[in-house]
Chain A
Amino acid sequence: MLELNGLDLGAMQSLVQTIQADANAAEPYNEWTARVRWMGGFKAQALVRDHTFLIDEPADLVGKNEAPNAAEYLLGAYGACLTTGFVLNATKRGVKLRNFEVTVDGRIDNILTFLGLSDRGHPGYREVVAHAYVDADTDDETLQAIWRDTVASSPVGNSLTRTVAVHTVATRA
């Protein structure tokens, strides 16, 4: 098996060929779902495909601090998305990665609005800063090009930077 950065190059190539031959083959990858169930207090459990993970608030915010909170998962999700993208784009260019780590910092616009104590601004992130640390066998120019492609093609990054149509509904059960 031909491998680079822990990825099976044959499998990658065959996936690309399948999708190139029939764009409909990629359709399942346009749909993603999650189910989240309340567990008491501020704790919740997410079910995603056959995985589950917990969500909680820190003790300071009256949670049990058993897991990251939802807004932290968003930062983690963006960091993970950038990681996946960087590995993909590096591998496409034949660049071997030794190590990759990214820090993601978010600044909430005004947390008081979430607590209902202010109507100024909003309770979402005003700014998110991602800083990638790369240890790879490549020159700076290639590294920056991989990073640019990664940021530009990040599904989570695009969800953050573009207006996403969010439809919500609540029903009695």
Chain B
Amino acid sequence: MRETVGLPLFPVTVVGSWPRPHTLLQALKRWQAGEIPEAEFEAAADVAVLEVLRVQEDAGVDVVSDGEQRRDNFYSFLAGKIEGLRLMTLADVLEYAEDKVYFDRTLRSLDAPSFAIKSPTVVDRLRLRSPLAADAAAFLRRHTSRPIKVALPGPYLLARATWVAGVSDAAYPTREALAADVVAILREEISRLVAAGVDFIQLDEPVLTDVVFRPSVAVRSFMCAPLAAPETDPAGELAWAVELVNAVVKGAGVRTGLHMCRGNWTRNEAVLLSGGYAPLQRALEAMAVDQWVLEFATPRAGDLEVFQGRAGHEIGLGVVNPRIDDVEEPATIVARVREALRYFDPTRVWLNPDCGFGTFAERPVAVAEVAAAKLRAMTAAAAALR
């Protein structure tokens, strides 16, 4: 159990991403098209990061992030950092999709063309080209005195979603073979992040909900990885995810968190996954992370009651929904936290949104003004609770 040193009760933080300004989106597009050098994109990102930081500091957020402004989404950005991982559009890999009907249905629910959804795909042995997030973290560290949080795509997500039969098997015969290199790369990055002064590292494992809430893992898509993962049993998948997460965080020497959600790619709540934490609880408890960063603002996440008797665990409680424009009242947030206090020790409860406000650069679920108002609602609630 990691002590919360130097932080008030009910620390307020973010899950990570923030909507990108138009200028940064333009720079991202031009950089990806090879029209401007990386340095020009990074300069635009520097400006955007400082603005995201200012918004968080003004709102009174205790542990801040860089809003993932340098990423095109929460895990595709790795294609630029790791050799052997190529950003392929769904149009590129359509021929490899085993279930093309599901592929099309996913795109229709996204209201997106196949060329707009990019998925990092393993095409060769993985080799680090540049730090995954440590440079970005160092920039953030230089510009704030507050504790900082960095999210990394989790090992299960990467091993499952980047390995595509027919494309990846020449480099790694199985996704299990790929996982060993994924774990090694993430462990090295955690060391770099610690050295850069990061206080909180969150592993994003959104596909865990896909494992348990889909009728079958054969329906293998989570947002942008509709090709990966052969049909397997959910219990086996969860056990493997636990094994990978624990291998990554072992001896990390920093606060670690595990984030999962039920989809954050659309504002249409009806098409996102639904279900409580009960089928995930054993896996969560087996993961050697300090904090569970979980959705609870959306009713789709079920009740807190499943955590009865888990007072020793630390929870990053999702108290605002990034996908709706109505800003939660601080009183509503306070009531939700009080409910959590029936199951968690007050010193172990953090406040955060259910997920990022801009998981996908070109398809953020929120606008910055609304997101900022939601941060202020959380800090007002935290102040009332303290």
Contact = CB atoms under 8 A, between A and B. Distances in A.
Nearest to A132: B113
B33 A101 contact: no
B114 interface: yes
A98 B91 CA distance: 13
A18 interface: no
Given A98-B33, A101-B91, A135 B108 contact: no
A101 B115 contact: yes
Interface string B311-334: 000000000000000000000000
A133 B33 CA distance: 18
Nearest to A101: B113
A133 B114 CA distance: 9
A133 B89 CA distance: 15
Interface string A65-103: 000000000000000000000000000000000110101
B112 interface: yes
Chain A, interface size category, equals under 10
Interface residues of B, number: 8
B108 to A, nearest CB: 7
A67 B261 CA distance: 38
Nearest to B112: A133
A103 B108 contact: yes
B116 interface: yes
A125 B196 CA distance: 61
B260 to A, nearest CB: 30
A101 B112 CA distance: 9
Nearest to A131: B111
Contacts of B108: 103
Contacts of A133: 112-113, 115-116
A98 B32 CA distance: 12
A135 B33 CA distance: 12
B226 to A, nearest CB: 16
Interface in A90-129: 98-99, 101, 103
A138 to B, nearest CB: 14
A152 B112 CA distance: 24
A82 B91 CA distance: 18
A99 B113 contact: yes
Contacts of A101: 91, 113-115
B297 to A, nearest CB: 31
Contacts of A98: 33
Contacts of A103: 108, 113
Interface in B225-241: none
Nearest to A133: B113
Contacts of B116: 99, 133, 135
11 contacts: A98-B33, A99-B113, A99-B115, A101-B91, A101-B115, A103-B108, A133-B113, A133-B115, A133-B116, A135-B115, A135-B116
Given A99-B91, A101-B115, A103-B108, 6 more contacts: A99-B113, A99-B116, A101-B91, A103-B113, A133-B115, A135-B115
Q: Enumerate the 5 nearest inter-chain pairs by beta-carbon distance, A residue then B residue, closest first.
A: A101-B113, A133-B113, A99-B115, A101-B115, A101-B114
